[in-house]
């Protein structure tokens, strides 16, 4: 039982890491970036190409992986997000879906449509504590997730830049009136989101030790579900819901079977939206 909990927390970390950035951009820009989860995959492949294949080494490869995710995120912002009218969800959806096609299929072509194994960032150790198996890579992911989530939360609440981001997220027009450079704040939110996705992706790949170009297809929907159930823009909520989803999935696989594993989050999303359209912790309330 507790073992499932631990496994669930590790799985949940991935959902949290992706949902954090997704919900930040959603909150600040009111836009959903379908290609967000692809940044995680891109970071891992960049790490493999530069760190492993080009022989730059683990640490430089790690840094360059994160840089690649940030660069790609910035490009998506400049080319698509900042140009599309957010009042037209269809254009946003199709545009970022196009970005996703481009990233996934170009990477896939480069690796000849094959999955790759990822060399560990550090030597894996497994601890046996009271009959439970815990690896240091699990701990690394969990600690990094908590650190990034809580750090982001604190930064938004306490720093002056975080305050500006919150202002833009609540009311973009009024933010212009009080002299905030809203375009810059939106770009900043995308950069932070991409960095978290890249950093998180590398730590998760270190645990799962494999990556394929189409991995985003599996996790994207869960990322949406976590962000929507928590309430778009709610960073703390995304953490709670992400971990909860990981644990529930892990328990479901153990006691119900793996059949329904992938729809639990989706069903939770539908259920929450029936009764609380703004999400569990959300303030986002579109009038009309």
- We find the least distance from the C-beta atom of residue 62 to other proteins, in angstroms, to be 27
Q: Are strands 132-135 and 126-129 parallel, antiparallel or unpaired?
A: antiparallel
Q: Is 225 in the site for other proteins (CB under 8 A)?
A: yes
Spatial contact of 13 and 202, defined as CB atoms under 8 Å apart: no
Q: Is 224 in the site for other proteins (CB under 8 A)?
A: yes
Residues in contact with other proteins, shown as a per-residue x/- string from 267 to 286 under the rule CB under 8 A? x-xx--xx--x-----x--x
- We find the least distance from the C-beta atom of residue 55 to other proteins, in angstroms, to be 27
Q: Is 260 in the site for other proteins (CB under 8 A)?
A: yes
Q: Which of residues 47-106 bind other proteins (CB under 8 A)?
A: 79-80, 82-85, 87-95, 97-106
Q: Which of residues 7-36 bind other proteins (CB under 8 A)?
A: 26, 30-32
User: How many other C-beta atoms can be found within 10 angstroms of the C-beta atom of residue 252?
Assistant: 19
Interface segment toward other proteins; rule CB under 8 A; list 40-48, 118-126, 181-189, 194-202: 181-189
Which of 11, 13, 182, 234 is close enough to bind other proteins by CB under 8 A? 182
Long-range contact pairs involving 262-269 (C-beta distance under 8 Å, separation at least 24) = 262/218, 262/222, 265/15, 265/221, 265/222, 265/225, 265/226, 265/229, 266/221, 266/225, 268/225, 268/229, 269/224, 269/225, 269/228, 269/229
Q: Is 133 or 157 the residue whose CB approaches other proteins more closely?
A: 157
Spatial contact of 148 and 13, defined as CB atoms under 8 Å apart: no
């Amino acid at each position: 039982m507790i073992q499932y909990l631990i496994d669930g927390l590790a799985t949940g970390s991935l959902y949290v890491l992706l949902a954090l950035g997704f919900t930040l951009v959603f909150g600040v820009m009111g836009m959903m970036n379908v290609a967000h989860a692809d940044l995680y995959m891109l970071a891992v492949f960049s790490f493999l190409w530069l760190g492993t294949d080009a022989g730059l080494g683990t640490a430089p490869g790690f840094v360059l992986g994160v840089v690649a995710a940030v660069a790609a995120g910035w490009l998506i912002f400049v080319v698509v997000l900042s140009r599309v009218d957010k009042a037209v969800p269809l254009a946003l959806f199709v545009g970022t879906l196009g970005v996703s096609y481009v990233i996934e299929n170009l990477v896939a072509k480069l690796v000849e449509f094959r999955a790759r194994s990822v060399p560990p960032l550090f030597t894996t150790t497994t601890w046996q504590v009271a009959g439970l198996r815990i690896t240091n890579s699990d701990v690394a992911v969990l600690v990094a997730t908590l650190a990034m989530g809580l750090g982001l939360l604190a930064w938004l609440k306490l720093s002056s830049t975080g305050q500006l981001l919150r202002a833009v997220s609540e009311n973009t027009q009024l933010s212009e009136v009080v002299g905030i450079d809203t375009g810059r704040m939106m770009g900043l939110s995308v950069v932070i989101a991409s960095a978290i996705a890249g950093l998180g992706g590398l730590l998760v790949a270190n645990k799962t030790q494999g990556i394929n170009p189409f991995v985003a297809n599996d996790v994207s929907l869960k990322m949406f579900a976590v962000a929507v159930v928590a309430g778009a823009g709610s960073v703390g909520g995304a953490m709670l819901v992400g971990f909860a989803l990981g644990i529930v999935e892990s328990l479901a696989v153990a006691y119900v079977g793996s059949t329904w594993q992938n729809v639990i989050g989706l069903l939770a999303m539908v259920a929450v939206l029936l009764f609380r359209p703004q999400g569990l912790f959300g303030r986002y309330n579109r009038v009309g």
